[in-house]
A and B are shown apart, each in its own frame.
Chain A
Amino acid sequence: MEITETIQRSKQKSNPAGKELTRCYHCGEDCDRSISTDDKYFCCEGCQFVYQLLQQNGLCNYYDLSSTPGIKVKGKFTAERFAYLDNADVQQQLIRFTDGRQTHVSFYLPQMHCASCIWLLENLHTIQKGILYSKTNFQRKEISIAYDPQQTSLRRVVELLAYTGYEPYISFNESEKKKVKKVNRQQLFKIGVAGFCFSNIMMLSFPEYFSSGSIDQPYLQKVFSYLNLILALPVFFYSASGFFISAWKGLRQKWLNIDAPIALAILVTFSRSVYEILTATGPGYFDSMSGIVLFMLAGRWFQDKTYDSFSFDRDYKSYFPLGVTVLKDGAEKIVTINTLQKGDQVLVRNHEMVPADAVLLSEEASVDYSFVSGENTPVLKRKGELIYAGAQQLSGSVMLEVINPVSQSYITQLWNNNDVFKEKKNTEKSFIHPWSRYFTITLLLIAAAAAFFWWMVDPSKILPAVTAALIVACPCSLLLSATFTYGNMLRQFGKNKLYLKNASVIESLAGVTNIVFDKTGTLTQATLADITFDGVPLSQHEINMIGSLAKQSVHPLSRLLTQWLENQFTMSVLPVSFFSEMSGKGTAAMVDGHQVKLGSQAFVAGKQVNEHKAENGTVFVAIDENVRGVFHVHNRYRKGTASMLATLAGKGYSLHVLSGDHAAEHDRLRMLFGQNAILRFNQSPQEKLDYIRALKKDQHGTRVLMLGDGLNDAGALLQSDIGIAVSENISQFTPASDAILDCSQFTKLDRFIAYARSGKRVVTWSFILSILYNIVGLSFAVRAALSPLVAAILMPVSSVSIVLFVTAATSFQARRKGL
């Protein structure tokens, strides 16, 4: 069926009869009973539309698998929204394979969240003819679709996805292009090979263990040793190759990294074992060697299993539209964003983003800069004014003339001018690295001392003692303790909806000294506000009138007001007519026979007020040209923010606020943050970045944690030692950062930091434990009395006990810290 018509949200509808609240059958949002199909109620026509579409195709199973699985279709799609997908260049970049009869594409669908989603997405072929099959990967939130290009098109496939609520995330960003998980598979192969060889070597070594080193049949002994040697080859050359490569890279940069002692131990064990077997002087230590390799590989795999569905490395390109409508010689043409040139005339439709710095050609535009500056009140622009890239157009279609190509726009300058975006910042080495260096040096000293001792006493034992020392004192338990501690902590953080990029972020988090907050969207909730009314008390009927009008408006302040009125009063919706909305001024309509006006003082009261003096966050109200008062809209801070900030201040962290907004909230922030905090307002993205840079330079040893939410914080997030992106909806897109935090868990920040610090203690304790094991092993080794049996027992016992210890300790700490 054809589904290119525009989905209209239930804006015009208001039904006085539908007072009783229910939940939308599709998306589960609270709604009245004004929109219904088959005794099922919907919050908006978008949801109703999806239901009808599924019903026509016999796909109502969708609603049986989980209750209210649907996704509310946010905003509107115009028919041209995905027109750029008809462009051959664009198609070529997205399509993975095509032979004219079958085309394969895959998309990232951040909205995928339940079993119903999987079911619907895998049944797309029943809705649209031409789709051959679709297959989802839930954890990576991906869908692969095969379709017949003769029956349908890429654009129509994407439109189908978007209209059912799963708008694909399409990006041409190189860093986000399919990093096919080949690396991960390599790791699994290595573990598999090591596991196979290890278990067989152990089996062949058992006769050796139980006969205390002298098998009656010399022939058998020879077979066993040579089989062991053969089995050890793939472990040494294939499974362990990663350690050698990493150690070699470290050495070339004159850096003894954590893999160096491991590579040394593996190398020594292997050569000594080969020597013993070839000269028939002993059974070798292949069992220990393959065990070490297996445990280490398994540990890394455990730690590296991070969050596939998140992307931590987005730059501005991820936020911009891919296709832009350009007007050339009177004809509309869709071009890709990179080909935009100075002087191009572009058409930006309602709720679309301005792709490049441009001058307004139309009479008027109302733009939302929240994306760029963090300020969330729309700004009115007149003909000839400059609009920066990243602004969202809110009132109809406008024409613009591009004055800067995308890559040189104001917002993208951040990426061009600052080196931070180019270099990786994890240059700081983990505190484990110096430990491993001391360990290696101490070990070499002990081996040298043992060699010296045996040179005096019995030179024939020099080689056995030295090699045994190097074998048994492998720092693998040292490294295992760190990998498993941080691996488990990553999982604990993930359970609490803080998703870290990798394990090294935990250490950075533990070392934080300064904490910088963004205001809008981070400290405050974007969708809720505290509102006070100042003026003549309103009657219930008047409240109904104001609420009914506010409900029609799309302005953020109106939406906040509507929500507040609905929560505070029992509101009933009245019929609204002659509705008009003036961008940047206010809104007016006839409600139940009375004229109601909401908006700025100038608009409502008719007084000429200096625009700069006009107080932000105020909504004046007039009924029948009679000014009744003013609503003061204050940001609402997240619940628990005050106690969290008090805890952080009490622990001696230095707190900062960088807000892109005006200073209206200064006094309340001061109350929350205390006297010592530094508050800055009207900060541009560049100023935020510079502030963090200065903070880091100012004092040595300052570690800055930045929390922000928008693109306006992107620079600061990258410049800081650790940047956490706070998100209302973790499936939505966040700026590049080290971690993504679900906003509902924002007030656990103090506990997160405390937990990160406890991780360091756990690692230290397990180091002490592993050093005790090493002392026991070395005491055998330096006496030249290390039998393969002792080595084969000590190795797994120490590794397994350390893994158990750190897992239990980190889980216990998580509970103690209240996570």
Chain B
Amino acid sequence: MQVVSVLIILIAVSILVAGGFLVAFIWSVKKGQFDDDYTPSVRMLFDDTPAPDEESSVKSKQS
């Protein structure tokens, strides 16, 4: 009987973990991470230019 209860706990944990991934996936789709799968890959390659004024900090907050 002890083996069985361990199994039950394991299954519960594994479903919880998998459920966590499902929630993460749904969250990322909702956030629009799958809407555009090209631009971000280019954007991250740009060097940061010295910000001329405070407007570029607004940019990072907004996006």
Using a CB–CB distance below 8 Å, which chain A residues touch chain B? 57-59, 61, 65, 115, 118-119, 122-123, 125-126, 131-133, 135-140, 146, 181, 184-185, 188-189, 192-193, 196, 199-200, 203-204, 217, 219-220, 223, 227
Q: A125-B59, A220-B4 are in contact. Are A118 and B36 (CB under 8 A)?
A: no
In the assembled complex, the Cα of A125 lies from the Cα of B60 at a distance in Å of 12
In the assembled complex, the Cα of A188 lies from the Cα of B37 at a distance in Å of 14
Across the interface, do A203 and B14 meet the contact criterion of CB distance under 8 Å? yes
Q: A192-B25, A196-B19 are in contact. Are A115 and B59 (CB under 8 A)?
A: no
Could you count the A-B residue pairs with CB atoms below 8 Å apart for me: how many are there? 82
Measured CB to CB, the nearest residue on chain B to A204 is: B11
Majority DSSP secondary structure for residues of B touching A: helix
Across the interface, do A139 and B58 meet the contact criterion of CB distance under 8 Å? no
In the assembled complex, the Cα of A139 lies from the Cα of B49 at a distance in Å of 25
Q: Chain B residues near A65: list those with CB within 8 A.
A: 46
**Least Cβ distance of B56 to chain A in Å?**
7
Across the interface, do A135 and B63 meet the contact criterion of CB distance under 8 Å? yes
Across the interface, do B62 and A146 meet the contact criterion of CB distance under 8 Å? yes
Across the interface, do A188 and B29 meet the contact criterion of CB distance under 8 Å? yes
In the assembled complex, the Cα of A491 lies from the Cα of B59 at a distance in Å of 36
- Taking A125-B59, A199-B18 as given, write out 5 further A-B residue pairs in contact, using a Cβ cutoff of 8 Å, ordered by the A residue number: A61-B46, A125-B56, A181-B35, A185-B34, A200-B18
For chain B, which range describes its interface: under 10, 10 to 19, 20 to 34, or 35 or more residues? 20 to 34
Q: Chain B residues near A59: list those with CB within 8 A.
A: 49
**Least Cβ distance of A646 to chain B in Å?**
40
Measured CB to CB, the nearest residue on chain A to B25 is: A192
Across the interface, do B63 and A115 meet the contact criterion of CB distance under 8 Å? no
Q: Chain A residues near B59: list those with CB within 8 A.
A: 125, 132-133
Across the interface, do B7 and A220 meet the contact criterion of CB distance under 8 Å? yes
Q: Which of B30, B49, B62 contacts A123 (CB 8 A)?
A: B49
**Least Cβ distance of A684 to chain B in Å?**
43
Q: Mark B27-39, 1 if CB is under 8 A from A, else 0.
A: 0011000111111
Between A and B, 28 residue pairs with Cβ closer than 8 Å are A58-B49, A58-B52, A59-B49, A118-B39, A122-B43, A126-B52, A132-B62, A133-B63, A137-B35, A139-B37, A139-B38, A146-B62, A184-B35, A185-B29, A185-B34, A185-B35, A188-B29, A188-B34, A189-B26, A189-B29, A192-B22, A192-B26, A200-B14, A204-B11, A219-B4, A220-B7, A223-B11, A227-B15
Across the interface, do A139 and B55 meet the contact criterion of CB distance under 8 Å? no
Q: Chain B residues near A188: list those with CB within 8 A.
A: 29, 34
Q: Which of A123, A193, A220 contacts B22 (CB 8 A)?
A: A193
Across the interface, do B47 and A61 meet the contact criterion of CB distance under 8 Å? yes
In the assembled complex, the Cα of A192 lies from the Cα of B29 at a distance in Å of 10
Q: Which of B34, B35, B45 has the most CB of A within 10 A?
A: B35
**Least Cβ distance of A138 to chain B in Å?**
4
Q: Chain A residues near B43: list those with CB within 8 A.
A: 118, 122
Ordered nearest first, which 3 A-B pairs have the shortest CB separation? A133-B59, A196-B22, A138-B39
Measured CB to CB, the nearest residue on chain B to A231 is: B15
Tell me whether B13 is interfacial, beta carbon within 8 Å.
Answer: no
Measured CB to CB, the nearest residue on chain A to B35 is: A181
Measured CB to CB, the nearest residue on chain B to A185 is: B29
Across the interface, do A138 and B38 meet the contact criterion of CB distance under 8 Å? yes
**Least Cβ distance of B18 to chain A in Å?**
6
**Least Cβ distance of A107 to chain B in Å?**
15
**Least Cβ distance of B42 to chain A in Å?**
5
Q: Chain B residues near A219: list those with CB within 8 A.
A: 4
**Least Cβ distance of B36 to chain A in Å?**
5
Q: Chain A residues near B39: list those with CB within 8 A.
A: 118, 136-139
In the assembled complex, the Cα of A139 lies from the Cα of B18 at a distance in Å of 32
In the assembled complex, the Cα of A153 lies from the Cα of B56 at a distance in Å of 19
In the assembled complex, the Cα of A59 lies from the Cα of B4 at a distance in Å of 66
Measured CB to CB, the nearest residue on chain A to B58 is: A132
**Least Cβ distance of B58 to chain A in Å?**
5
Q: Chain A residues near B34: list those with CB within 8 A.
A: 185, 188
**Least Cβ distance of B28 to chain A in Å?**
9
Measured CB to CB, the nearest residue on chain A to B30 is: A185
**Least Cβ distance of A521 to chain B in Å?**
31
**Least Cβ distance of A133 to chain B in Å?**
4
Q: Which of B7, B18, B36, B58 contacts A196 (CB 8 A)?
A: B18
**Least Cβ distance of A196 to chain B in Å?**
4
Measured CB to CB, the nearest residue on chain A to B52 is: A126
Measured CB to CB, the nearest residue on chain B to A197 is: B22
Q: A58-B49, A193-B22 are in contact. Are A217 and B42 (CB under 8 A)?
A: no
Measured CB to CB, the nearest residue on chain B to A180 is: B35
Q: A135-B63, A146-B62 are in contact. Are A115 and B45 (CB under 8 A)?
A: yes
In the assembled complex, the Cα of A351 lies from the Cα of B63 at a distance in Å of 39
Across the interface, do A138 and B26 meet the contact criterion of CB distance under 8 Å? no
Q: Which of A132, A185, A199 contacts B55 (CB 8 A)?
A: A132
Q: Chain B residues near A118: list those with CB within 8 A.
A: 39, 42-43
Q: A118-B43, A220-B7 are in contact. Are A196 and B35 (CB under 8 A)?
A: no
Q: Chain B residues near A223: list those with CB within 8 A.
A: 8, 11
**Least Cβ distance of A198 to chain B in Å?**
11
Q: Chain A residues near B36: list those with CB within 8 A.
A: 137-140
**Least Cβ distance of A517 to chain B in Å?**
35
In the assembled complex, the Cα of A61 lies from the Cα of B47 at a distance in Å of 9
Measured CB to CB, the nearest residue on chain B to A102 is: B62
**Least Cβ distance of A102 to chain B in Å?**
9
**Least Cβ distance of B44 to chain A in Å?**
11
**Least Cβ distance of A180 to chain B in Å?**
10
**Least Cβ distance of B24 to chain A in Å?**
10
Q: Chain A residues near B29: list those with CB within 8 A.
A: 185, 188-189, 192
In the assembled complex, the Cα of A119 lies from the Cα of B43 at a distance in Å of 7
Q: Which of A61, A135, A181 contacts B49 (CB 8 A)?
A: A61
Measured CB to CB, the nearest residue on chain A to B47 is: A61
Q: Which of A131, A181, A217, A227 contacts B11 (CB 8 A)?
A: A227
Measured CB to CB, the nearest residue on chain B to A224 is: B11
Q: Which of A115, A131, A133, A135 contacts B42 (CB 8 A)?
A: A115
Measured CB to CB, the nearest residue on chain A to B61 is: A133
Q: Chain A residues near B11: list those with CB within 8 A.
A: 204, 223, 227
Measured CB to CB, the nearest residue on chain B to A126 is: B52
Q: Chain B residues near A204: list those with CB within 8 A.
A: 11
Q: Chain A residues near B30: list those with CB within 8 A.
A: 185
Q: Which of B4, B22, B47 has the most CB of A within 10 A?
A: B22
**Least Cβ distance of A149 to chain B in Å?**
15
In the assembled complex, the Cα of A307 lies from the Cα of B26 at a distance in Å of 24
Q: Chain B residues near A57: list those with CB within 8 A.
A: 52
